[in-house]
Amino acid sequence: MHTFLTRLNTISTFFMTVLAVCTSLCFLSTVTNPYMAKADIVPVKVVVKNLNDYATSSERTDLGIVQFDLKADVQDLFNWNVKQLFLYLTAEYQTENNAVNQVVLWDKIIQRGENTKLDLKNVNMKYYFWDDGKGLRGNENVTLTLSWNVIPNAGTLPRITGMGAKVIKFPSDYTTTRAI
């Protein structure tokens, strides 16, 4: 009556349909979660240097150096649909040349089962904080914000900005010695 391949196709189609329905239910059960947490960012050391740009050695640009303490508890962000979190600290500021500047200074991946309470002291930046001109020296409105991407087992990848942004001021004088 029916061949082996026809029966195998029917069974595999049925199981794929059940799997798709279960995956959709997994996503729908956590789609309304707010994924919010408070972060406490404390700048320890803020320095600005004026150095030659790597691209054009004749032009000098500002290099910001920020050392910070970070305290956050991201335990509430995990549920049964969250595989891992990608946390990153950004600096956002305004200059005469650009209305919005955003630079990622630090990041960390926290997987399910790892320690979710961050209590980091004297953390150095992971990435360079270059400005495309001389917009960091004396800038009094640089906002540090901890954000994260939730990596789910099924569903969308939300980008969430945490509560507790910190505004820092850069010094009005350049530092000529080794900063950190």
In this predicted model, what pLDDT tens digit does every residue of 109-155 receive, in sequence order?
A: 999 999 999 999 999 999 999 998 889 999 999 999 999 999 999 98
Least confident of 3-17, 45-59, 114-128, 134-148: 45-59
Q: Burial, 13: exposed, middle or buried (Cβ in 10 Å; 0-12, 13-18, 19+)?
A: exposed
**DSSP conformation letters of 89-118:** EEEEE--SS-S-EEEEEEEEEEETTS--EE
Task: Give the residue extent of every domain in the chain.
Answer: 1-30, 34-168
pLDDT confidence bin for 59, thresholds 50/70/90: confident
pTM value?
0.87
Q: Are strands 60-73 and 142-152 parallel, antiparallel or unpaired?
A: unpaired
Q: Are strands 82-93 and 129-130 parallel, antiparallel or unpaired?
A: unpaired
Is the domain spanning 34-168 CATH 1.20.1630? The answer is no
